[in-house]
Structure 1
Amino acid sequence: MKNIILSCFAVVALGLSYFYEVKPAEANPETQNFTFENASLIPFAPDGNHNTNPFEKAANTLTYKDSLFYKYYSQNFAVKLEYNEDKELLETVNEWIGTPYRSGSASKRGTDCSGFVTSIYKEVYGINLSRSSRSMFQDVKRIKKDSVQTGDLVFFRRSPKQPIYHVGIYLKNGKFVHSATNGGVMISSLKQAYYQRNYYAAGRVN
């Protein structure tokens, strides 16, 4: 008798299985595994526009190693990086920091301002610039001060009637790197009284 009842239940259950389909539980996006190395640390702009600076060549997605790289240089240069700056530029500039000033030279044993800039552009971008700051100004497209980006050049002159006498490479947050007569290759601020007073123009290499 008991076997007959159990058999009836089995038949009923089998019949019901034809009328009901149990769907597998859908994966919860909040519980899915997330790989940090594949995460984009910098969201794209809402309008989809990307950085137009040709000298900022970082990939759209950054690994954890990338984030450590930019964090290191952000602290080392005392600037707030956006994690899209050219890595080779940052590394190369860092290698030149502390190089003594030497007029007419362009090596890590000593360099003047234009020698430093031409060396960086040749090493990082493969671009040959004119050797003097005055002639170098002819190689660039003049841009507004509030539009200057990493890798752009900044030029200085002592008065409107005097020619350009100094050039540096812009980094971020009003900071630029240059070879100064009183300290060699260093990072300075455009907000410093001396550079603010003598600032002339910014330019982008075409």
Structure 2
Amino acid sequence: MKNSILCIFAAVALALSYFYEVKPEAAPEETQNPVFESASFVPFALDGNDAANPFAKTSHPITYKDSLIYKYHSQNFAVKFDYSEDKELLETVSEWIGTPYRSGSSSKKGTDCSGFVTAVYRQVYGINLSRSSRSMFQDVQRIKKDSVRTGDLVFFRRSPKQPIYHVGIYLKDGKFVHSATNGGVMISSLRQPYYQRNYYAAGRVN
């Protein structure tokens, strides 16, 4: 009887020793599983809107509040935005609309065309541009008219022999915002005969 009990205990001990020896060998395989090493727990990646555009802000998921803001500016500017434009630029421009024209100034009490552009670029992008439209043209990379996009600059001159005299910020759909002598900060169209006739070039700040 005692021999039988001892045999049973020996068999149980042998079985237990087998399981305890096998289990530790499996642990390293679980910790080295490549699935766990490569898994990402980030819900979404933050990518630039356009790597070629120095003014493209980091993109974020569009919220309901954002969509209302874009819709508001679309109606306010009579421009159809596609929600990829720099929201801060649109909001800043909206704050300047209606500012009276004042030569040599760059405040919301009054501003000329280059003063308006330099103020917006400083506020939105932290970039200090040259103060005159002619010297500002030297700060930009010239681009084709059909490649212009939101935030680029548009320049005007009255004839090929005359220097640049006016500058504005392009919005979309042929619309641009500028400070005009006959109305202050407003939105105009490049398709208007006057601006179509005097349009010179578009430029992008690097």
What range is the shorter-chain TM-score in? 0.7 to 0.9
Q: Distance in 1 between matches of 2:59 and 2:70?
A: 13
Rounded to whole Å, the distance in 1 between the matches of 2:112 and 2:49 is: 35
The answer for the alignment partner of 1:88 in structure 2 is 88
Aligned residues of 1:88 and 1:124 also touching (Cα < 8 A): yes
AA of the residue aligned to 1:126: G
Change (3 A) 1:175 1:58: farther
Q: Measure how far apart 1:55 and its partner are.
A: 2.0
Gaps of 5+ in 1: 1-37, 39-48
Gaps of 5+ in 2: 1-42
For residues 149 and 82 of structure 2, the distance between their equivalents in structure 1, rounded to whole angstroms, comes to 11
- Give TM-score, length-normalised by structure 1: 0.75
Query: How do 1:45-56 residues align onto structure 2 when only pairs under 5 Å count?
Result: 51=50, 52-56=52-56
Q: Report the alpha carbon displacement of residue 56 of structure 1 after superposing the two structures with TM.
A: 3.0
The structural deviation recorded for 1:89 is 0.5
Q: Number of residue pairs matched?
A: 160
Computed over aligned residues only, the root mean square deviation of the Cα atoms, in angstroms, reads 1.7
Q: Which residue of 2 aligns with 1:198?
A: 198
User: Which of the two has higher C-alpha Rg?
Assistant: 2
Give the deviation of 1:50 after TM superposition: 5.1
* Contact residue 57 and residue 84 of structure 1 kept, 8 A: no
Question: Percent sequence identity over matched residues?
Answer: 82
For residues 113 and 50 of structure 1, what CA distance do their matches in structure 2 show?
28
| TM, length-normalised to structure 2 | 0.75
| Residues 62-121 of structure 1, C-alpha deviations (whole Å, 9 max, x = no match) | 111111111111111100101011111011100000000000111000000000000000
Runs of 4+, deviation exceeding 6 Å: none
SS for the counterpart of 1:94 is helix
Q: Letter of the aligned partner of 2:104 in structure 1?
A: G
